[in-house]
Structure 1
Amino acid sequence: MSVTIAVERYLPTPGHAPALRDVVVTAGADGLAVTGNSVAGPGLLALPAPVNAHDHGYGIRPFDFGGLDDALEPWIPFMRLRPPTDPYLEALVAFGRIARSGCGATMHCHNSLNVATLVDQAGHVVRAARDVGIRLGLSCPLLDDSPFVYGGLPQLLPGLSAADCTRVESLAPTYAPIAEQIAAVDAIAKAHDSEMVDVQYGPIGPQWASNALLEAIADASARTGRRIHMHLLESPRQRAWLDRRFPQGVVKFLDEIGFLSPRLAVAHGVQLRRDECELLAERGVILASNPSANLRLRSGVAPMEAIRAAGLSCAIGLDGTGFDDDQDIWREMRLFHLLHGGRGLEPAIPTTGIFDAAILRGAAVVNQAPARDLVVVDYAAMVEDAMFDDLDEAQMLLGRMTAGQVRGLVVGGRTIIESGRLVTVDFEVAHQELVAQARAAAAKLGHQRDNARFLSEVVRRHYAD
């Protein structure tokens, strides 16, 4: 199965060389190739599709259920307000947005903490990715410590009234045994690993995992060869608490237990130190950077100078947000480009570095061969006022491209976007049904809203003290 598209410009390696002109590009299951010349594609530019290297598959986005931007720790309790909707429909809408942005693949960090339903929900998520037509990295959540506060509930209770202590304790989740959690991921992998789907271990973060769980995941990854995808050192409060828990440093601890390897990708890394960047790079780890989310949750800006100096590979992920809450990978690439451009006469990260992060490193995060899928964009709209015809196409994309200019997407030889429209599923109908389900559930969330506000303020006071 393959698709042939005539384009005016083709960038097989964006930033590394100028575009080829007036060519026919064939996008098949085995990758991309120029297969002829043509003048039938005026105004269109094609390039390998970027990858969303870290996301959470929000069909209903946090803003819509009250999870407004805040510092990370008091923001987390509002995730309790995610409305109960059809998991297939939730994933379908989330993946539809990502495809319409022009991404050929996404790393989906699943949000369920219930091992009893995880295997079933994973099936719905995989089916949604297959129906939309994008490649999927599926990070299955693993944790065994309180998500409310680092160090567990005993850290949060001092200073609370007896009634508030009881209320907090009643809201605390319970966790399945470590072996049961690992077994659930292995079962999902056995059922769903394929050319288009890569199931991965997903410890949510070392601050929410016991040493025993982290060691079990490291052993399981070494035994199975399965990748690991994990949040790491996102907020200043994580840095402070992990430094107390691991005097040698959390990254050094992870290395001591065999957790660090080329099978690992970590998200955020905002609080990484230079020596930690060097160790991660030495072990072949990839960092999935999320500049919009880092800013919106007040975690800060990733230490890109240290990351680049260490040679730590970077990918780019939307984390379910985007700068305008729009899941636009191109705007995220632009923010990454501008935020980390430095103040020198030359950009700290060249154009090649941005596209390599979004395309090549992103593919590695989801365990796929790079540059196999094709996105087609309306280049004429970007340069409609341009006075010259020889402008650098890659720089124009970084400066002006948005999801709204995506005209085509071919993944694995299958047409996903055609003439600017998602053709594999009816996105509008699915979106309307998902919103209807969410609003129908909203009336039952009043008590949960009270609990979310209560927990958020308790957590805020804890860290303020």
Structure 2
Amino acid sequence: MTRAARFPFREAPGIALRSGERAVVSPVNAHDHGYGIRPLDFGGLDDALEVWIPSLRLRPRTDPYLEALVAFSRLAMTGIGATMHCHNSLNVDRLAGEAKAVIRAAADVGIRLGLSCPLLDHDPWAYGGGPERLRRFLGEADWAALSPSIPDYAPVVRQIEAVEQVAAENAGPMVDVQFGPIGPQWCSDALLEAIAEASALSGRRIHMHLLESPRQRAWLDRRFPQGVVRHLDGIGFLSPRLAVAHGVQLREDELELLAERGVQVVSNPSANLRLRSGVAPLPLMARNGPEFAIGLDGTGFGDDQDLWSELRLAYLLHGGRELCRSFTAERLFDAAIHTGAKVLNMPAAADFAVIDYAALTADSLFEDIDGAEVILTRMRAAHATGLFVGGKEVMRDGRLRNVDFAAARRELLEQARADLPRLQQERPRVRALAEATRRYYAGW
């Protein structure tokens, strides 16, 4: 197999390359949450997924446009021109306005955007019964302070209508609005069935978390004795319009069914390790399907939103122990580029990153070292020197063409710090909720 086939170095029309630069097809960040202020910065230390989730209550209240602008700018400065943004708002009445702000931020940076609009109405805080399950693990004062924040979800019809409103108001070639059920453990049967029906009628894609942690596997096996994947198939949820993120706990028979239905899986290796969820069965997917893509999930191995390093981690993590590698560079780049584009409902191989290939090979004694191996061994975000999306220059030498990243980041931090008095009050409650969550699941 030739190097050109294994790695997408391209003659990119209209892109002037300097000596030592190469144009490559930009991989797609196929699952993310658009953290302008990243979780570690508001106290979200890595932990088991369910124990970590309460830390999101400490996310500062900031302008959604500015939050998205900073998050998307970070990606563009690494040479990534397309991302799936799973929006985090739980207020259906604010969704249309926030979505418009997020879409405007992507347009201002100049990247492609898949927008997964959140949908949920079941079992907040704890699987198998919701907040009441945690009450006995909380003191009276903590329960009294926390219980007023138990979500009051909008009716199923209203939630579906809100997504359709966002789609109707924001149509365009650079954005794809999708249904975003957070995960089957947080969705009622009625909501899952309504999403399946609405997707079939409109052709709108669905982007959903699925079987991320061992606790989710345990609970969903109890809720759906036939298996959650087979339940979803029975209600018409599985189709080529569906992408599921994580899939760490998927079994081989479930992978086969997803492959038969044309579903895509988005793997997030760093996030799965950092939140102690495990390692997804990507080698099985590479051999037998379903198609898979790669996403950062708002983190990355070094908390730096570096998709190039994420690809390296996936390559090494799934290399196996045999004499010959079966999880190949070709398969990984196909996942990151072509399947990633499918997840976003965007054209594949349409955007280009410019990389400083001379820096990557400065000490090489041979000129024919496989380019794919060079990228997967050494490429980091800092080696991206340019980005072209839809033929337009978005970034050159670490500077965005249309956005002052430093100024946007300063303003976002000022807004976040202005919210510190509220966060200081909330922080002990978050710790209490996290520890109650840990104690609840410890008995499983």
Give the TM-score range, shorter chain: over 0.9
SS of corresponding position for 2:355: strand
Cα distance change of structure 1 residues 244 and 106 upon mapping to structure 2, 3 Å threshold: same
Cα distance change of structure 1 residues 443 and 161 upon mapping to structure 2, 3 Å threshold: closer
**1:133, CA displacement in angstroms?**
0.3
Taking structure 2 as the reference length, the TM-score comes to 0.96
Name the residue aligned to 1:173.
151
C-alpha offsets along residues 293-325 of structure 1, whole Å, 9 cap, x if unaligned?
A: 000000010122332343211100000000000
Are the counterparts in 1 of residues 138 and 433 from structure 2 also a CA contact under 8 Å? no
Name the residue aligned to 2:7.
15
- Say yes or no: does 1:26 pair with 2:4: no
Instruction: Give the Cα separation in 1 of the matches to 2:111 and 2:137.
Output: 49
Name the residue aligned to 2:106.
129
Name the residue aligned to 1:459.
437
**1:451, CA displacement in angstroms?**
1.6
Taking structure 1 as the reference length, the TM-score comes to 0.92
**1:64, CA displacement in angstroms?**
0.2
Instruction: Give the Cα separation in 1 of the matches to 2:14 and 2:353.
Output: 10
Name the residue aligned to 1:260.
238
- Say yes or no: does 1:424 pair with 2:402: yes
Which of 266-275 and 150-159 deviates more? 150-159
Name the residue aligned to 1:81.
58
For 1:45, give the aligned amino acid: R
**1:418, CA displacement in angstroms?**
1.6
| Alpha-carbon RMSD | 1.8
* 1:49-198 correspondence runs (5 A): 49-151=26-128, 152-158=130-136, 165-198=143-176
SS of corresponding position for 1:169: helix
Are the counterparts in 2 of residues 81 and 448 from structure 1 also a CA contact under 8 Å? yes
Name the residue aligned to 1:396.
374
Cα distance change of structure 1 residues 179 and 12 upon mapping to structure 2, 3 Å threshold: farther
SS of corresponding position for 2:12: strand
* 1:336-415 correspondence runs (5 A): 336-415=314-393
Instruction: Give the Cα separation in 2 of the matches to 1:299 and 1:310.
Output: 23
Q: Structure 1 segments of 4 or more deviating over 2 A?
A: 11-16, 153-171, 304-310
Equivalent in 424, 429, 437 of residue 446 of structure 1: 424
Instruction: Give the Cα separation in 2 of the matches to 1:403 and 1:80.
Output: 30
Instruction: Give the Cα separation in 1 of the matches to 2:134 and 2:197.
Output: 32
Are the counterparts in 1 of residues 124 and 131 from structure 2 also a CA contact under 8 Å? no
Instruction: Give the Cα separation in 2 of the matches to 1:408 and 1:15.
Output: 18
Q: How many residues align?
A: 441
SS of corresponding position for 1:26: coil
Name the residue aligned to 2:306.
328
For 1:26, give the aligned amino acid: P
Which of 154-163 and 229-238 deviates more? 154-163
Are the counterparts in 2 of residues 56 and 108 from structure 1 also a CA contact under 8 Å? yes
* 1:37-48 correspondence runs (5 A): 41-48=18-25
C-alpha offsets along residues 204-259 of structure 1, whole Å, 9 cap, x if unaligned?
A: 00000000000000000001000000000000000000000000000000000000
Cα distance change of structure 1 residues 159 and 381 upon mapping to structure 2, 3 Å threshold: closer
Cα distance change of structure 1 residues 209 and 27 upon mapping to structure 2, 3 Å threshold: farther
**1:347, CA displacement in angstroms?**
1.6
Name the residue aligned to 1:251.
229
Which of 315-324 and 350-359 deviates more? 350-359
Are the counterparts in 2 of residues 189 and 199 from structure 1 also a CA contact under 8 Å? yes
SS of corresponding position for 1:88: helix
> Percent identity over the alignment?
60
Cα distance change of structure 1 residues 13 and 106 upon mapping to structure 2, 3 Å threshold: farther
Are the counterparts in 2 of residues 101 and 328 from structure 1 also a CA contact under 8 Å? yes
Cα distance change of structure 1 residues 12 and 130 upon mapping to structure 2, 3 Å threshold: farther
For 2:26, give the aligned amino acid: A
Cα distance change of structure 1 residues 457 and 140 upon mapping to structure 2, 3 Å threshold: same
- Say yes or no: does 1:217 pair with 2:195: yes
Which of 171-180 and 233-242 deviates more? 171-180
Cα distance change of structure 1 residues 62 and 97 upon mapping to structure 2, 3 Å threshold: same
Cα distance change of structure 1 residues 368 and 185 upon mapping to structure 2, 3 Å threshold: same
Which of 162-171 and 225-234 deviates more? 162-171
**1:422, CA displacement in angstroms?**
1.5
Instruction: Give the Cα separation in 2 of the matches to 1:443 and 1:345.
Output: 57
C-alpha offsets along residues 20-43 of structure 1, whole Å, 9 cap, x if unaligned?
A: 7xxx52159xxxxxxxxx9x7320
Instruction: Give the Cα separation in 2 of the matches to 1:242 and 1:158.
Output: 23
- Which has more strand, going by share of residues? 1
Name the residue aligned to 1:4.
none
Are the counterparts in 2 of residues 27 and 372 from structure 1 also a CA contact under 8 Å? no
Which of 185-194 and 420-429 deviates more? 420-429
SS of corresponding position for 1:445: helix
Instruction: Give the Cα separation in 2 of the matches to 1:187 and 1:12.
Output: 43
Q: Which runs of 5+ in 1 are unaligned?
A: 1-10, 29-37
Are the counterparts in 2 of residues 273 and 306 from structure 1 also a CA contact under 8 Å? no
For 2:120, give the aligned amino acid: L
Instruction: Give the Cα separation in 2 of the matches to 1:107 and 1:140.
Output: 11
C-alpha offsets along residues 84-104 of structure 1, whole Å, 9 cap, x if unaligned?
A: 111100000000011112111
**1:158, CA displacement in angstroms?**
4.4
SS of corresponding position for 1:443: helix
For 1:102, give the aligned amino acid: G
For 2:12, give the aligned amino acid: V
C-alpha offsets along residues 26-85 of structure 1, whole Å, 9 cap, x if unaligned?
A: 159xxxxxxxxx9x7320111111100000000000000000100000100010001011
Are the counterparts in 2 of residues 144 and 175 from structure 1 also a CA contact under 8 Å? yes
